[in-house]
Amino acid sequence: MANVVVVGAQWGDEGKGKIVDWLSERADVIARFQGGHNAGHTLVIDGKVYKLSLLPSGIVRGGKLSVIGNGVVLDPWHLREEIAKLQGQGVDITPENLMVAENTPLILPVHGELDRAREGQNTVAKIGTTGRGIGPAYEDKVGRRAIRVADLADRDTLVARVDRLLQHHDTLRRGMGLPEVDRDALIAQLEEIAPSLLQYAAPVWKVLAEKRKSGKRILFEGAQGALLDIDFGTYPFVTSSNVIAGQAATGTGMGPGAIDFVLGIVKAYTTRVGEGPFPAELFDADGQRLGERGHEFGTVTGRQRRCGWFDAVLVRQTCATSGVSGIAFTKLDVLDGFEELKICVGYELDGERLDYLPTAADQQARCTPIYETMPGWSESTEGARSWADLPANAIKYVRRVEELIECPVALLSTSPERDDTILVTDPFAD
């Protein structure tokens, strides 16, 4: 049976939550493979709104196994709150339908404190983090001093891990003028949260291998977008993990051979939150209109997103680095009513034309967009469920996007509602 990876192909906020939820009807397992609770997914099901940060989008469906993989950094207190909130909305969450990888690193209060202190003291170039401790938690993971889920099960191990962690953090905090961490209080906090988290702990790599052997369909869910990838994004204005599709393998413990289809989620225009280059950004009435019509505010932070025309250069690039098989094109209805639309088809840098975004940050900042103009449409695309429901110019726009990004449209989303989706190619088809 086919297994599918879903990745954001822009700077995040492309509408992954709805698409993953829509696809989860065809999947048996939904696995989250990177990021933390800095990512937000909003699902609208039968008029009811669910806001998720850590939990895989499939959790709102009955009869599915949701998995948080080792590529995620996990704030256990936030997870407990998120579970309680969804349970209050009538969602059933138990160890039978939610598993957390035993080797998942934890986000601790010290990580959030360090994250916020660094951003507050940074007078050179702010990264624009959410201040939730994601970056410092990944640093501790690669520094081999992280506390992982399995460590909570044994007090001696936990104490040893905390001591190793604080040897590093207290040194940092002294240098930043912060008080040292209260060791005993931190240990007490972790012992208090341990039972809540350990009930979901499992050898996820083993569970997924068994599911695959038995022919179950696995849906791998990413957070953020490929342009925020630590290696291939607009560094240093990126997240602290790999976001591209290859991370689905290492972030869950499955080999790359388990991936059969990569679905890139692509918004019909471009947005980003926080700092960093954005060649196609708009500062005029069109940009404001896109933001207002698209309700462009972060699910987690509430920060207003920067808006611009569709950037085919960036999406072609992310389709290549993630090996995208097909895209899910979202929020087409936001473009309804524009007399004309623009697509960024290249950049000009110091008098030269480029067909990719350069790696060097100073060059990225100097890139200016080269636009192609297309006629818009006055009819509504909202709620369309077949190509026949779309205006002719909307279809031309979609087809031109396919040509420019060198990747076909597999799904077309025309509203936040689950069923307002046009299926072109089923990613789960064998």
Convert the pLDDT of each residue in 292-346 to its tens digit.
Answer: 999 887 655 567 899 999 999 999 999 999 999 999 999 999 999 999 999 999 9
Of residues 71 and 420, more confidence is placed in 71
Give phi and psi for 219, each to the nearest 5. -110, 120
Q: Looking at the predicted structure, is the pLDDT value of residue 122 above 90?
A: no
Report the chain's mean pLDDT, rounded to a whole number.
92
Amino acid 298: pLDDT: 61
Distance between CA atoms of residues 376 and 398, nearest Å: 12
pLDDT in tens, 49-75: 888 899 998 898 888 999 999 999 999
**Residues contacting residue 407 through CB under 8 Å, at least 6 positions apart:** 264, 315, 316, 319, 324, 325, 326, 327
* Cis peptide bond prior to 416, omega within 30° of 0: no
Q: Using a pLDDT cut of 70, give the percent of the chain over it.
A: 96
Q: Looking at the predicted structure, is the pLDDT value of residue 124 above 60?
A: no
Q: Which one of the listed residues 13, 115, 140, 311 is annotated catalytic?
A: 13
Would residue 78 show up in a list of annotated catalytic residues for this protein? no
Cβ(410)–Cβ(266) below 8 Å: no
Would residue 41 show up in a list of annotated catalytic residues for this protein? yes
pLDDT interval class at 417 (50, 70, 90): confident
Of residues 40 and 55, more confidence is placed in 55
CB atoms within 10 A of CB 302: 8
pLDDT interval class at 82 (50, 70, 90): very high
Tell me which of 36-40, 88-92, 106-110 is least confident.
36-40
Of residues 374 and 118, more confidence is placed in 374
Cβ(82)–Cβ(55) below 8 Å: yes
Q: Which one of the listed residues 41, 75, 229, 333 is annotated catalytic?
A: 41
pLDDT in tens, 209-267: 999 999 999 999 988 899 999 999 999 999 999 999 999 999 999 999 999 999 999 99
> What residue ranges define each of the domains in the chain, with the CATH number in brackets?
4-103+200-258 (3.40.440.10), 109-197 (1.10.300.10), 266-423 (3.90.170.10)
Give phi and psi for 73, each to the nearest 5. -105, 130
pLDDT in tens, 172-217: 999 999 999 999 999 999 999 999 999 999 999 999 999 999 999 9
CA angle 116, 117, 121 (to 5 degrees): 120
pLDDT in tens, 259-302: 999 999 999 999 998 889 999 999 999 999 999 999 887 655 56
Q: Using a pLDDT cut of 90, give the percent of the chain over it.
A: 79
Q: What is the mean pLDDT of residues 26-36?
A: 94
Q: Report the interhelical angle of 134-142 vs 109-121 (nearest 10°).
A: 110
Task: Show the tokens assigned to 87.
Answer: 């349970």
